[in-house]
Homo-oligomer: A and B are copies of this chain.
């Protein structure tokens, strides 16, 4: 009924007839089967024109040696959900303390992705994980000094995102190993979470200007196009893309300047822009349809 209902984990409404008034005083949360709450982050960035995701290597069982999404316990009573997400992100990327770290973090877009709570998704106990999605500009390599065994940006193309769905941890499958697997397997149901995050990201940049969150403060239209091409995994028509971006009010604003040099393989210098004040793109930048995935 409410954030916390009168109905408790055990069914006390069938006959016991307990007068529930003032049970607040005698309420002892430790008397019930506990559920743990964690916050995991799907942090995406662009490196060398390819989409990367931040992963950490597990040092403990289960899934020891497997790569997993950065995340951790919600600190009860101390922080809210987005607060926990930025904390985990800062810890795992090593972006802590320094001024430039704060500046880099401030440019990161963060939004809630969804929650995952199947009873057997973690073999130890029932864990509900609230997943967040982050769009980051190209960051330095994570400093592994803080927490996990190792943290690194991985190209999403190198990961196996076929959902194992068959919950429960397979024995100790080490990082690479066995046969000629299509890619790295992630721990727990993190492949599902990451796939959902990618879906969200692909849809999000259609209607929002958040593709610019992958870039530095000033950028060119071709750089912006590279973001769309990397996230959507498709080549886009340069001319049409250029005109379309400029036609959306508030998407980008010209700086009046151009880049210092042309492209590495020739071509004129591009004008630079920065993100405008639009929160939604009207009209949106729709993905190429392909007429296949209609349903």
Contacts and interface: CB of A to CB of B under 8 A. Distances in A.
A76 B24 contact: no
A29 B36 CA distance: 8
Contacts of A38: 2-5
Interface in A65-79: 68-79
Contact of A117 (B5, B74, B117, B119): B74
A250 B7 contact: no
A105 interface: no
Contact of A121 (B3, B6, B34, B128): B3
A141 interface: no
A80 interface: yes
B76 A148 contact: no
The DSSP consensus for interface residues of chain A is loop
Contact of A68 (B2, B61, B249): B2
Contacts of A119: 76-80
Given A112-B115, A294-B282, A295-B250, A122 B1 contact: no
B294 A27 contact: no
A102 interface: no
Interface string A49-64: 0000000101111110
A81 interface: yes
Interface stretch (A213-221, A237-245, A272-280): A272-280
A70 to B, nearest CB: 6
Contact of A81 (B76, B117, B146): B117
Nearest to A29: B34
Nearest to A62: B24
Contacts of A21: 59-60
A253 interface: no
Nearest to A118: B80
A127 interface: yes
A73 B34 CA distance: 11
Given A117-B81, A250-B295, A2 B73 contact: no
Contacts of A35: 35-37, 74, 76
A254 to B, nearest CB: 18
Contacts of A1: 56, 58, 68-72, 92, 147-148
Given A1-B70, A35-B74, A76-B125, 5 more contacts: A21-B60, A27-B124, A35-B35, A81-B117, A114-B114
Which 9 A-B pairs rank lowest in CB-CB distance, beginning with the nearest?
A: A5-B72, A33-B76, A81-B117, A3-B122, A7-B72, A2-B68, A29-B34, A3-B188, A80-B118
